[in-house]
């Protein structure tokens, strides 16, 4: 007997199944949830980006202020 001729109950059961097609309402619901998650992430990232920009601007401003004060101290000899 050949292997291909052996009846396989699992393959027969699988052949009898109807193809799975998700419902349109399910697709719409999943799509809406995905868009909500992406929108939340976008808002969170933009808030983080603004905070990082503010911190960087503050660091640069502090660096410039220290540089100007050191230049004034050296130029006018007070110290």
Q: Which whole-number Å values give the CA distances from 6 to 1, 14, 16, 24, in the listed order?
A: 7, 16, 18, 40
Helices (H) and strands (E) in the chain, counts: 2, 0
Q: Does the pLDDT value for residue 48 go beyond 60?
A: yes
pLDDT of residue 70: 94
Q: Which pTM value belongs to this model?
A: 0.46
Confidence of residue 5 (pLDDT cuts 50, 70, 90): low
Contact of 46 with 38, CB cutoff 8 Å: no
Q: Does the pLDDT value for residue 40 go beyond 70?
A: yes
Task: State how far the Cα of 57 lies from the Cα of 63, in Å rounded to an integer.
Answer: 10
Q: Does the pLDDT value for residue 23 go beyond 60?
A: yes
């Amino acid at each position: 007997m050949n292997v291909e001729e052996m009846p396989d109950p699992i393959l027969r059961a699988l052949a009898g199944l109807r193809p799975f097609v998700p419902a349109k309402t399910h697709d719409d619901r999943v799509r809406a949830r995905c868009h909500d998650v992406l929108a939340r992430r976008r808002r969170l990232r933009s808030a983080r980006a603004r905070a990082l920009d503010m911190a960087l601007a503050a660091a640069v401003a502090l660096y410039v202020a220290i540089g100007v004060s050191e230049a004034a101290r050296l130029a006018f000899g007070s110290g």
